[in-house]
Structure 1
């Protein structure tokens, strides 16, 4: 659980240290502009921007029932964040598995990526797709809801 928050915590600490240095150097306006940037970056790298994660076994079971894609991700991954942001509201309709919280999810990702934990790995109809284009994922989701 702590690993998921390590990058956001580092960003908050770095931003705070830099803002403190600016205030001490006589630039409180610069500090007031810099700190929110670091806080936004920390929020974007946190698990908060992703839909609630479920376990790999439950996600695959649900996907087998309704055909929706399963996304294996981890906090701090810029490619996962890109996928999440580009999917917009549609992201909530997918099943998200945080591989840092779910050892079974991490094992699934390593199995299909030659031992690497490469994310995002998206399973559509039981087939893995590593770092797919968000537009393609959106089309796959649309096809599952039409069927």
Structure 2
């Protein structure tokens, strides 16, 4: 199991345990609500919420060809989740690089952030922007007027 799935799996297991205890104590409705909450948390913190990641090299190549930004991210990052959710459907237009899966992506994050793997780091036209506002990122996807 990769590091990206550890937190979601733990959330599902903990939610299942709490729901089982609540069911046996006579609160099946509460158990269902708690289990649902844990499943939603697990889903949000899983890599499934994000578009399919590519390698840093592939993302740079694609970005050079189409001009779209590259996002360096990692699963479980609250700020990455916030960016992904606030971008909505337009997130699919970006090139996402999971720094836990790609050593070159992690190196790019460290280069952009003075040795730290701070994410999300959005690279637009070769310039890194650490934890940018989602509205600004969305504006980078729009063609110039």
Question: Smaller-chain TM-score range?
Answer: over 0.9
Structure 2: 5+ residue runs without aligned partners? none
How many Å separate the matches in 1 of 2:61 and 2:32? 48
Task: Tell me how large the CA RMSD over aligned residues is.
Answer: 1.2
In structure 1, C-alpha distance between the alignment counterparts of 2:44 and 2:38, rounded to whole Å? 10
Q: Following TM superposition, by how much is the alpha carbon of 1:103 offset from its aligned partner in structure 2, in angstroms?
A: 0.6
Match of residue 56 from structure 2: 56
Task: For 1:116-127, list aligned pairs within 5 A.
Answer: 116-127=116-127
Structure 1 stretches of 5 or more lacking a match?
none
Deviations 1:104-135 (A, max 9, x none): 00011011112111100000000000000000
Moved >4 Å (runs of 4+): none
Tell me by how many angstroms 1:55 deviates.
0.3
Instruction: Work out the CA distance in 1 between the residues paired with 2:9 and 2:115.
Output: 28
Say if 2:22 is the partner of 1:11. Answer: no
Match of 1:88 in 2: 88
Q: Deviation per CA, 1:10-45, whole angstroms, max 9, x where unpaired?
A: 110111111111112221111011101100110111
- Give the distance between the partners of 1:130 and 1:7, measured in 2 at CA: 24
The two structures have a TM-score, normalised by structure 2, of 0.96
Cα deviation, residue 67, structure 1: 0.9
What is aligned with 1:100? 100
TM-score by length of 1: 0.95
| Corresponding residue for residue 72 of structure 1 | 72
Q: Does 1:46 align with 2:31?
A: no
Residues in 1 aligned to 2:104 and 2:11: alpha-carbon distance in whole angstroms: 29
